[in-house]
Amino acid sequence: MDLSWYLLLSAALFGVGTLVVLARRNALHLFMGIELMLNAGNLAFLAGARIHGGAQAPVSVLFILALAAAEVAVGLALIVLIHRTRGTLDVGSFNLLKG
């Protein structure tokens, strides 16, 4: 496959993630949209590294994916905690900054 196809797929995934973040009010959907945008960036990074042929980019993407896995664990724990305390995942109801 040509490099432009990878970049086009990455841009499409980033666009879908942006659309999800802008259109949805559910915290879980927002979280999934942000993760989709992160993975689109990883795909674009790997597509660019394919031109240069080094081993640094795939290793960097592995580190980014490990960081994303930790982010998913923390994010989902926060979403479960918010759902238990508030009873809803609508981000419009998260307007109080008291603990």
Rounded CA-CA distance 56/7 in Å is: 19
Tell me whether residue 10 is exposed, middle or buried, using C-beta atoms within 10 angstroms of its C-beta: 0 to 12, 13 to 18, 19 or more: buried
Q: Is domain 3-90 annotated with CATH 1.10.287.3510?
A: yes
pTM over the 0.85 mark: no
Q: What is the pLDDT of residue 23?
A: 94
Q: What is the pLDDT of residue 14?
A: 97
Average pLDDT over residues 78-99: 81
Q: What is the pLDDT of residue 40?
A: 94
Confidence check: pLDDT of 99 > 70: no
Q: What is the pLDDT of residue 21?
A: 94
Average pLDDT over residues 11-39: 94
Residue of higher predicted confidence among 97 and 94: 94
